Copies of this chain bind each other. A is one copy, B any other.
Amino acid sequence: MTGLVRFTVSIEEELLAAFDALIRDQGYQNRSEAIRDAIRGRLIEQEWEAGDEVAGVITLLYDHHRPGVAETLTEIQHRALAYVIASTHVHLDHSNCLECIAVRGEARTIEELAHRLKSLKGVKHGALTATSTGKKLS
């Protein structure tokens, strides 16, 4: 972590009051934290657009009764070992499973892996959550 600095924002009084009400609702304890979160959110979007090394989570909802789906998911993840860090399997009910796969790598590679997993037969829904390795965010 690097040293802390300060900067001043000039803003219309009413606009600031509306912002204060908004962030209080979302649980923020002060404006600086909310502003830093907004800034980090923008920088993460930029990391993904630029194709940088990123981190993310691939979320899959699937029916483990569908023949072959669990095996194929495991096999693809093992072949993508360089990008897949860990994966958690949650049993939602008798048939439905939720799998969260933590991944790290170049943005385009991660996006391709997510597409491949989402398009598998038996996978009902898939989503790629974009976050960061955090290296440039402090």
Contact = CB atoms under 8 A, between A and B. Distances in A.
A11 B1 CA distance: 11
Contacts of A23: 119
Task: Provide the main secondary structure of the chain A interface.
Answer: mixed
A64 B9 CA distance: 23
B95 A134 contact: yes
Copies of this protein in the assembly total 4
Nearest to A26: B115
A78 interface: no
A23 B121 CA distance: 13
Contacts of A102: 88, 90, 98, 100
Interface of A: 1-16, 18-19, 22-23, 25-29, 31-44, 46, 55-57, 59, 61, 63, 65, 85-88, 90, 92-93, 95-96, 98, 100, 102, 104, 115-116, 118-121, 124-127, 129-138
14 contacts: A1-B12, A6-B11, A11-B39, A15-B137, A37-B125, A55-B98, A59-B131, A92-B134, A95-B134, A96-B134, A98-B102, A125-B132, A125-B134, A127-B129
Given A2-B13, A15-B36, A34-B119, 4 more contacts: A6-B11, A8-B8, A22-B46, A28-B119
